[in-house]
């Protein structure tokens, strides 16, 4: 499945939130996110998307892994990490794999993107330093491998276009649900 264009049936299924949808006015989303983050004190956080990543950074809550492409709703909004409000301390930190670049065309989950997520998580777990994955193309579908590869109890946050933010707690059940959804679609197409 990874490394090919995502099947239209799966794309339709993925339009439904994989976790808890936090919607409503910006103030409501902000308050709900603060509560979720307070309850997630010792677990990893992965943000997928520029809007949620920038929002977390503005709150002073940079995700452990941030996955961005500098676009929101397919419109280029940001030019660099500074535009996304990453803290100066992070931007000035000197370690070789702080930023991981990958390619992932729209509607795809490339093996290169999956490897970038794995590399970021492996490095984070090894040294405890935050990572940013910059995607040339589109990052939204990378939430799937992020959930599948993340340690249990990781919180994955991604944007749900025109609705809000989705919060997914990584559990064995959630991983199984995603694998079964993918298997069901791809085995019926054979």
d(CA 163, CA 24): 7
Look up tokens 């990543």; give the residue: 53
How do residues 88-132 score in pLDDT, each as one tens digit? Answer: 999 999 988 899 999 999 989 999 999 999 999 999 999 999 999
The answer, yes or no, to whether residue 190 has pLDDT greater than 60, is: no
pLDDT of residue 40: 85
Confidence of residue 80 (pLDDT cuts 50, 70, 90): very high
Using only C-alpha atoms, the chain has a radius of gyration, in whole angstroms, of: 16
Query: Does pTM top 0.85 for this prediction?
Result: yes
Q: Considering the chain, what is the average pLDDT of its residues? A: 91
In a domain, 48, yes or no: yes
Mean pLDDT score, 143-154: 97
In a domain, 3, yes or no: no
Mean pLDDT score, 146-153: 98
Mean pLDDT score, 39-68: 94
Mean pLDDT score, 157-168: 94
Rounded to the nearest angstrom, the gap between the alpha carbon of residue 187 and the centroid of all alpha carbons in its chain is 26
Q: What percent of the chain has pLDDT over 70?
A: 95
Confidence of residue 14 (pLDDT cuts 50, 70, 90): confident
pLDDT of residue 188: 56
- Spell out the residues 6+ positions from residue 72 whose beta carbon is closer than 8 angstroms to its own: 49, 50, 51
Count of structural domains within the chain: 1
How do residues 171-186 score in pLDDT, each as one tens digit? Answer: 999 999 999 887 776 6
pLDDT of residue 10: 78
pLDDT of residue 2: 63
In a domain, 1, yes or no: no
The whole domain housing 55 covers 8-188
């Amino acid at each position: 499945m990874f490394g090919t264009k995502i099947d239209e049936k799966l794309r339709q299924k993925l339009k439904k939130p994989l976790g808890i949808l936090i919607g409503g006015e910006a103030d409501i989303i902000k308050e709900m996110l603060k509560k979720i983050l307070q309850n997630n004190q010792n677990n990893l956080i992965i943000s997928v998307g520029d809007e949620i990543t920038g929002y977390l950074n503005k709150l002073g809550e940079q995700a452990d892994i941030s996955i961005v492409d500098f676009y929101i709703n397919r419109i280029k909004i940001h030019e660099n990490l500074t535009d996304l409000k990453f803290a100066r301390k992070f931007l000035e930190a000197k370690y070789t794999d702080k930023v991981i670049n990958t390619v992932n065309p729209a509607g795809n989950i490339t093996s290169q993107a999956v490897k970038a997520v794995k590399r970021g998580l492996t490095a984070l777990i090894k040294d405890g330093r935050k990572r940013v994955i910059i995607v040339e193309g589109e990052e939204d579908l990378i939430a799937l491998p992020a959930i599948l590869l993340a340690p249990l109890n990781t919180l994955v946050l991604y944007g749900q276009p025109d609705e809000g933010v989705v919060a997914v707690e990584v559990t064995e059940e959630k991983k199984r649900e995603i694998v079964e959804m993918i298997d069901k679609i791809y085995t019926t197409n054979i």
